[in-house]
Every structure is written in structure tokens, then in C-alpha cells.
Chain A
Amino acid sequence: MKVKVYKCFRILGWDFTITPTRFVLTGLVALMAATVLLRLLTGFQFVTNLTDETPWGMWIAFDVMCGVALAGGGYSTALLVHMFRYKQCEVVARGALLTSLLGYILVMAGLFLDIGQWFNFWRPFVSWGYTSVLFEVFWCISMYTTILSLEFFEIITERVLVKKLHRHILKILPVLVVIGLVFPVLHQSSLGGLFLIMKEKMFPLWWSQFLPIYFLMSSFFVGSAMVCVETTLARTAYGHEIPHEIMLKLTRVGARIMLVYLLMKIYDLFSMDLWGYVFQGTLQSNMYCLEMLFGIIIPICIIVSPLRKTRGGLLTYAWLTVFGVIINRLNCVFTSMYESGSYFPGIGEIIVSAGLVSLGILVYCFLVENFNIIGNARAVQVKIDKDKDIKNLIWALLRTKRH
């Protein structure tokens, strides 16, 4: 197996790798920081395109909804590996956990920026609006992120802090795992439940009494798809190989859930008499067809066909599923409410979302390169130089290139 070698710096005992891509990502993060400052000082008017007609925008639709769905790779993998004993897949579990944790933290960061009176974020902890589905989402995500952090703490304590602490954490891990599988099921479905109250405003193709179940199912099968995508990217970056059969085993479960999803959607079309909307040719019907065709029907076709045995075929399935879920979440927030108003994200919103994703990638890489997450003790072959100070680091940033 070829091992990629990067120019790397060791500062205070931690490894930092620089590539041109990461340079760009860091730049995005810096831009994001400036935008965040502007947002916190001046509110929404300069940073977003949100209006009274479209009060939920990119940060909710993409950062929160898509973010939570895609970060669900953690729980679906955990469910399969720990509960249903997909032992072979254990090798991806840690990476999935990390993506999940990072994803949720980024979701919370994005959410924090989206709320108007952010200094009141703690109110629902003591002022209980229990009639609201959002209340359940809020509590479950808070609890779940705590659990994930504790689970991930186990990985950290492997290398840092006292080894005794590590043993203690290992002991309560099973309890954490069970709790950590209840909360995500609850809040993934409740994110769909948020839309139930919008019956009079949502375009009929997306409103259904099964909305929570749809969101739960899609978060599940996108989980394994995301794992497939992440590990492929990690392989490209770190030369880290995951056997094809393992990927296939994970995704096949997801595909079966996808089939049930499709059947339920078809049932909805009949029971609510919606066929007329599907082929109307309007924006809403076209987006619905796009979502169902590329996100559900074609991936199912790939999985049942011989294409699934090829690396490329499986990867296509994974990417299509991911995009399908993203389109579905965006449709629920924007397309289904298009009658109220049209919206396109403002430059500030795009910078923040891109910046958060970049930050996530950078942190992921840092953690993967410094902790035992994707298989090897350290994923990067370290070319150790003398301890560099900041000035030389910057000099190197400008002259870095991959060997």
C-alpha cells in the first residue's frame, strides 16, 4: 500500500500538515471568522438574504438539516457495528464517529449564528416549550453531542491524559452507546417532525404524516453512503484502504431501507391523491422528480445491479444518495415553501457555510493525523524536521509542495 508523504511540521508535539488545498481552506475559515464578527455585530441584514417570507435560509437548510442528516453516519454505523455486530465494519466506526461529532459541533456553530437572540440560547433548558417539536430536537441534539463527545473522549484519552481515565471510560461505553443510539433516532425523525405543523403552507408533494419516518430513514441510509464517501476521500488522502465488501455490506442495509422509503412515498402519492402534482412541470414537481430519481430510484438500481461490485459503481451510489438527501432537505425548507417567497443565499451565508465545512475538514485531518482513528497509529508518515517557529511555518506555507 502506497503511503502518501506530506511535508509536516511538529509544533508542541502535534503534527500539522500543509497542502495547497488546506491553505485555501484556512483562508476560507479566516473569511468566515470575519463574517461571523460582522454577523454578531450587525445582525442579519448585511450577512444574509433572509426575509419575512423566507425566514429560514441556507444556515438552517444546509448547515442544520443537511448537516445533521449527513452527520448521521455516526449513529447508523454505530447501530450496525455495535448492535447488529457487523464486526468487519468496526474499522470504519471510529472515522464515522469523528465525522459525526465534528458534524454536530459544526451544526451547533451554524445554528448559533442563525438564532437572532443568541445570548438566549440556554432558555429552552429552563423554559420548557414542550409542545414544540423543536424542543425535542434541541434537547436531543444537546444530549447527543454530549454523548458523542464522551465517546470520542475515549479516543482522546487513549493518547492524552491519564490511562486510568481511559479504562473508566471504556467501562461506561456500552451505556453511552445505547443512549447514543436513542437520541439520534429521536432527533433525526423530529427534524422531519418540524414540518408537520406547516401542513397549510407546505407544497403537498412534501407534506406527509410520515415525515418523521422519512427523515429517519433517509438519515440512516445516507449514513452508510457518507461513510463510503469519507473513507474513499481518506483513501485518496492517506492511502488508507477499506475492503470493498465491508462498504457493500454497510450500504446494502441502507439500500433496503431506501426501497421501503420509496414504497412509502408511492403510498403517499396514492393516499393523498398527489399524482397530479408530480408531472405538472412546475418548479416544485421538477425538484421532486429530481430528488426521487437521482436520490432514490437510480441508487436503488445501482445496488441491485452488478454495478455494485465495482468501486466506481458503489461510489456513484454513495454520492447520489448524499446529494439526494441534501436536495430533499433543501426541498423541504425552500422548494415546498416557494409560494411564500423565493430566496437565494447571501454571500455572507455562503462564506459561513463554506467556512464551517472547511473548518470541519481541517479539524478532521488534524485529528486523523494525530490520533488513532482510521486504522494506523498515525495516518501520516512524518517527515520530522526540527521544531519550527511560526515565522518559518509561514515561510513554508508559501513554498509548500507535495512530494
Chain B
Amino acid sequence: MTNKISRRKFLKVVAGSGVVGFGVMAAGCKGDPSGAQGWIPDQYQGKGDFPVNLKGRVAISQDNPSIERDDEKCILCGQCVEACKNVMGVYGNYPLPLKNEVACVGCGQCTIACPSGAITEKRNIQDVLAAIDDDSKHVVVQTAPATKVSLGEEFGMEPGASVGKKMVGALKEAGFDAVFDTCFSADLTIMEEASEFVHRLTKAKDEIPHLTSCCPGWVKYCEYFYPELMHNLSTCKSPQNMMGATIKSFYAEKKGIKPENIINVSIMPCTAKKFEVGREELQVDDQRDMDYVLTTRELAVLLKHKGIDLNNVAESEYDSVLGESTGAGKIFGATGGVTEAAVRTAYYLATGSNPPADLLSWQPVRGMKAVKEANATIPGVGTVNIAVCHGLENARQLLNGIKEHGSKWQFIEFMACPGGCIGGGGQPKSSEPDIKQKRIAAIYKEDTSSAKRCSHDNTEIQSIYKEFYGKPLSEKAEKYLHTSFVNRHDRLF
């Protein structure tokens, strides 16, 4: 037998081993691991332990009443951390490990800072639409001063356009049963707070400095980080809640509607208000002061959902009983506005006559400076030292100074959001560099063009005291218009 391998046999062997080899190669080839099909931002390339300025994001609890987040939109840019840490002084100011909760004051600055819209307010639009559609419910809505100079932006209007009357018209068209003005209850707040301030100045000196409490973000911040100063907070409810309590008592009585059938909605520039309306203390006789809060942005969505274009809507007036407002109430939306309004009325309460002209255009408390100082000379009382602070990181530094050296100011206004409420977490997001200044200018323009400049001149306020509350700080006023606070320090420390 020859040892020669036939050509055919050789080819068979080669082909066979080729097939086997290919098979083994194709078979054993492990291919790519699953995953790694996506992308993460450049700041996360590398080991990740580089000292970058910004990374990660803030923690938002599922049951946070003010804000929520859509993870799919999050690009991990870290802007929310920037806002919460450097602007609001919350993130990083509590020790780790955590205690009972992750600190959040609900200010919503993270929603403004979030470039992709991942963080938004917790939505209540469906709740309000359902309430409007429910024929058995009397749905009352109130509008905050800051929203009147901002809502227009959501409909393509100029920044700072004053759209209060249009907003009323739009709300009425949307189906709300009554439209009231939070500026009215701002005047009410001033009546109560100015009286309280004068009382503290003259009689209860250990509650000086008097710290404002209409900003729920600031109030929660105080409860978290400065509980020892809680007794310095004004016991007045915020204008939103004073309005709510008054609606479900005075207005309900007047109109003959059962309080259970009233749904109180507010249009706010603020996400912390959503937290505020859930506070245990804010109810009277088992009726919650407020039911739902819609931010300015949410109202725009609701109106658009109903096909209402703010540009084309007919203007309308606020409903009476709780609809009249003065310039003092209107300036609440700007930083320094509460102070100015309070001083106007405090002057009147202390002296019996209206404040001089410069207090009706009090420049020292106006503007975007972090902490503004001023002093007001009130005949018969003396000089009152006042500070106006906005942005909670600024507040933190101010208060740390107070803890150390004591306070040289007798009255301090705190607003959580930079610029005051016009810069709130629920406001339209704008890329205009001086949007806040424009809104503030619009607010003061509303003030100067108002017939009445001082809260005590509000005739509806006067009649509500005559008919219902009696006088500021009365027993009835204490029941409906004043509140208490909760020490939250141990939840973090």
C-alpha cells in the first residue's frame, strides 16, 4: 500500500480541519460582554476620585411633597448639588450617617437649576382638574403676587409683564368658582405681623429679633438648623394659609357653603408651599387651611390643557370679600417686600399716622444684595434695625454670626429663594440673565401704581376685622391666623 495521500483525501482533511477550527473559534469566541452600550458624562471618565467641583446629585425622597425627579432625564450634571449646597446651604450641612430623614426644605431651587427638567415640582394638576370637574365642590383659587409678574413668560410675553387681571380671567374661564388675591391676605398678614412686632418691641423683648415666617422653606430651615431661634419666628401664618383659613370660615359662612365642600387652591411661585399645606398645624376645626398648591409653571400647563391662551383672555377682577389688595401686599413677592410692607403698617400702628414718603419707596431693603441693612425711625418707638436676607446659605452665615455675637437687628426678613418669591422654585425657568431684576421691577411698579399703598388702608381688611376677627392678635385671630412650629433638629443631628 502506498503512503501517498490522494489529493481528494488531503482536501477533505484540510476542509474538515478548517470547518472544525472555524467551529471551535466561532464557538469559543466569547464575544462582547452585555452592557456598556450607553454613555456617561465626561466628568465621570477616569477613576472618579478626582476632586471635581460637581458630581452626582441631591437625594430626593419618594414622599417629598414638593419635588420629584424623572431619572430618565437626569444627566448627572451636578447642578442640583450646586444649588442645594452653595446657594441654599442645605446639602452638606448635616452630619453623616443620616438620622431620620434626608434634609430638604422644599425650596425647589434644584428644579430651577436642573437643565434637563429631570427635577420638577410634585404635580397636582390632575387633583385640581378633578376638583374643578366635581360639581359638589366649591373650588376657590388665590394667586400670589410673584405669579402676576411671571406667568406671562410661559405664554411668550415679555419678562416682567404684569398679567394679574388676565390671570384672573383665565382662572375664571378654567372653571374656578372664586378667584381671590393672596395680596389681600398679605395685607392681613401685615396687620397681624406688624402688630406682633410692635408688641414684641414694647412688651416681649425676649422675642426680639423678630424673624419673618411667611417663607415655608425658611421656616423648615430654621426648624432643622436653628431650633433655638424658633421662638423668634413670627407666629403668623403665611398669607396663603391665612387666606385658606379665612375662606373656610368667614367666606364659607358668608356664602352659606359647607367648609367640607370647599377646595382651596393656590397659585404659588413656590414648591415649598406644597410642603407647607401638609403641615399638621395648619388646620382649624379639622379643616385643612389649604388643599392644593399649583406652581406658576403648573398653572400654565393647566391653562394650556384647557386651551386657554393668556394672550387672548379677557381681563377680569378678583372676586370681592377677599380680593382687594394694596401695594404693600403686592410687594411681598420681592426680597425686602415683606419688610417694607410691615414697616409701613408698624409705623401707623405705633404713631397713628401713615408713614412718610421714603418709607413708601424704601430703597435700602430693595435689590439683589445678599443681606441688606436698614433702619427705620418710628416716632415714639425709636430706631428699628432691620436686615433683609435672601438665599439660605446667606441666612446660614448670618445666623451663625447671630449665634456667636448676638443680633444687632430687631427685625430680620428671611426668604429662602434668591431674589425672594419671584425667584421661587415654581417659577418659569428662564435663560434671561436679569430675569429676577425684571420681575422685581414689575412688582414695585404694581406697588406704585396701586391706589392704596399700606395694608391698613385695605377696606376689605377693615371689614373682615369688623365682621369677623375683631382686632389683630385677638383670640379669633390667634385661632385662625397664627400657628406654631416643629423642632426638626433631631431628625438630622
Q: Which of A's residues lie within 8 Å of B, judged by CB?
A: 122-123, 125-127
Contacts and interface: CB of A to CB of B under 8 A. Distances in A.
Interface in B1-57: 23-24, 27-28, 30
Contacts of A122: 27
Nearest to A127: B28
Contacts of A126: 23-24, 27-28
A123 B24 CA distance: 10
Of B23, B24, B27, B30, the most chain A CB neighbours within 10 A belong to B27
A127 to B, nearest CB: 5
Contacts of A125: 27
Of A123, A125, A126, A127, the most chain B CB neighbours within 10 A belong to A126
Given A122-B27, A125-B27, A127-B30, 7 more contacts: A123-B27, A126-B23, A126-B24, A126-B27, A126-B28, A127-B27, A127-B28
Contacts of A127: 27-28, 30
Query: 3 tightest CB-CB pairs across the interface, nearest first?
Result: A126-B27, A127-B28, A126-B24
A287 B24 CA distance: 46
A282 B27 CA distance: 47
A123 B27 CA distance: 6
Nearest to B29: A127
Nearest to B30: A127
A127 B31 CA distance: 12
10 contacts: A122-B27, A123-B27, A125-B27, A126-B23, A126-B24, A126-B27, A126-B28, A127-B27, A127-B28, A127-B30
A335 B23 CA distance: 41
Contacts of B24: 126
Nearest to A122: B27
Nearest to B28: A127
A127 B30 CA distance: 9
A99 to B, nearest CB: 34
B42 to A, nearest CB: 35
Nearest to B20: A126
Contacts of B30: 127
Interface in B353-402: none
A122 B23 CA distance: 11
Contacts of A123: 27
B29 to A, nearest CB: 9
Contacts of B28: 126-127
B25 to A, nearest CB: 9
Nearest to A125: B27
A190 B30 CA distance: 26
Contacts of B23: 126
B139 to A, nearest CB: 45
A55 B424 CA distance: 51
B384 to A, nearest CB: 67
A125 B26 CA distance: 12
A119 to B, nearest CB: 13
A357 B23 CA distance: 35
A96 B24 CA distance: 38
A17 to B, nearest CB: 44
A122 B27 CA distance: 8
Nearest to B27: A126
Interface in B192-206: none
A127 B28 CA distance: 5
A118 B450 CA distance: 79
B32 to A, nearest CB: 15
B198 to A, nearest CB: 67
A201 to B, nearest CB: 24
A97 to B, nearest CB: 33
A65 to B, nearest CB: 28
A110 to B, nearest CB: 24
A123 B31 CA distance: 13
Nearest to A128: B28
A126 B24 CA distance: 6
B16 to A, nearest CB: 15
A141 B372 CA distance: 85
A127 B25 CA distance: 10
A67 to B, nearest CB: 28
A110 B23 CA distance: 26
Nearest to A120: B27
A127 B26 CA distance: 10
A203 B251 CA distance: 67
B31 to A, nearest CB: 11
B443 to A, nearest CB: 56
A125 B27 CA distance: 9
B224 to A, nearest CB: 40
A99 B262 CA distance: 78
A41 to B, nearest CB: 23
A125 B30 CA distance: 14
A192 B24 CA distance: 30
Nearest to A124: B27
Nearest to B26: A126
B78 to A, nearest CB: 33
A126 B27 CA distance: 6
A126 B30 CA distance: 12
Nearest to A123: B27
A123 B23 CA distance: 10
